[in-house]
Amino acid sequence: MRKQERADFINRRLAELYPETPVPLDHTDAFTLLVAVLLSAQCTDARVNLVTPGLFALADTPEAMAELEVPVIQEAIKSCGLAPRKAKAIAELSKILIRDHAGEVPANMAALEKLPGVGHKTASVVMAQAFGVPAFPVDTHIHRLAQRWGLTSGRNVVETERDLKKLFPEQDWNALHLRIIFYGRDACTARGCDGTVCEICRTLYPRRRTPVVTKKG
């Protein structure tokens, strides 16, 4: 298969495997999603979903969060990892949302990326999942699978995102990035598949015998 043929097959097959694409992080609005995505850096979604109910019971709006002392936020999120840094970022971004955005999460990539603790991937997730704006956030699962499937060279996540956006229809980006994540967790895992084991890898490369060494982003 050529690269575009591989991409088309992947898009079709993942839609069959995952017709529904629920957001993995529990949230009630754009602000709670923003906080949850920030917490998910170097932390599993499952762990974040265990932590956020306690945090959001204390504060689930920028106004309420800005009233909390950083140590209080840190205590609530301590099991997520990088808690001191994340707690400070949550407190600061809450104040910025109040000061500069009338207490609302901006539906604007550039404005989101200016918030403390919010990088391009976090901003992309919020744009896609809170506001429905087409985006293709690249996490470790997507970066790994895109290399195994021959869709990118994998030099970095910026290149991977650019390559995937060229291969897939824009209207599919938001659902597809979640479907790739789901498949990466279920079937094409970091240790359970090396590019020769799972259904999609075997279909795309039936003659592949050598494991694919993936590059970190």
Active-site entry in 60, 86, 121, 194: 121
Q: Going by CATH, does the domain composed of 3-21+136-204 fall within 3.30.56.10?
A: no
- Across the chain, mean pLDDT equals 96
Q: Where in the chain is the domain with CATH 1.10.340.30?
A: 30-131
Which pair of tokens denotes residue 187?
């079937």
Q: Which residues fall within 8 angstroms of residue 84, CB to CB, at 6 or more apart?
A: 74
Q: Find tokens 């391009």 and name the residue.
A: 120
Q: Where in the chain is the domain with CATH 1.10.1670.10?
A: 3-21+136-204
> Is residue 172 a contact partner of residue 8, using CB atoms and an 8 Å limit?
no
> Is residue 117 a contact partner of residue 93, using CB atoms and an 8 Å limit?
yes
HSE-up of 101 (CA within 13 Å, CB side)? Answer: 18
30-131: CATH number = 1.10.340.30
Q: Is 3 a catalytic residue?
A: no
pLDDT tens string 133-162: 999 999 989 999 999 999 999 889 999 999
pLDDT tens string 42-52: 899 999 999 99
Active-site entry in 139, 165, 172, 215: 139
DSSP state of 194: S
Question: Around Cβ 139, how many Cβ atoms within 10 Å?
Answer: 17
Q: Is 194 a catalytic residue?
A: no
Length of the chain: 217
pLDDT tens string 182-201: 999 999 999 999 999 999 99
Closest to 141 (Cα-Cα) out of 179, 115, 173: 179
